[in-house]
Amino acid sequence: MAPGRADPGRVSDTPHGPRTGTDAVEAVRGVVVAIPPGAVLSYGDVAELAWLSTPRLAARIMALGMAGADVSWWRVVRADGTLPDHLQITAREHYEREGTPLRETDAHWVRVDMRAARWDGRAP
């Protein structure tokens, strides 16, 4: 995915530049709820699809729960396929239930296989 490239099949394309405020929150929510089970996006991917200026804004919106308590938060990970420590155990349960491809790690850590699990952002 490349910033600024229009692709009619993508979930969220806008010619109006980066989103901010309530528009940013709604855009992040729209992207996250569209991620299919068993797939993930990085915060950078979410920022790109939601037309945000930076992945940090996507991460902040997710961390504060602004996208909503009902969103599938475990489907948005760091670029290396990990989540913060305090989310690891719950995320693993979701990944195993959804069949999300994981990489081998020690028993307490979970890392998503980004090559296999990264969603391309296209509507199903």
3-state secondary structure 16-34: CCCECHHHHHHHHHHHHHH
Calculate the CA 46 to chain-centre distance. 5
Mean of all residue pLDDT scores within the chain: 83
The pair of structure tokens assigned to 4 is 């600024």
Give 41-50 pLDDT, tens digit per residue.
999 999 999 8
- Quick one: average pLDDT of 19-26? 73
pLDDT at position 17 over 60: no
Cβ proximity of 116 and 108 under 8 Å: no
Per-residue model confidence (pLDDT) at position 20: 56
DSSP 8-state symbol, 10: B
21-117 architecture in CATH?
A: Orthogonal Bundle (1.10)
Q: Please give the pLDDT value at position 9.
A: 43
The residue whose two tokens read 């475990």 is 74
**Per-residue pLDDT tens for 50-76?**
888 889 999 998 888 877 788 999 999
Domain boundaries, the chain: 21-117
Give one word for 50, left, alpha or beta, with left for phi > 0 and alpha for psi -120 to 50. alpha
How many other C-beta atoms lie within 10 A of the C-beta of residue 106? 6
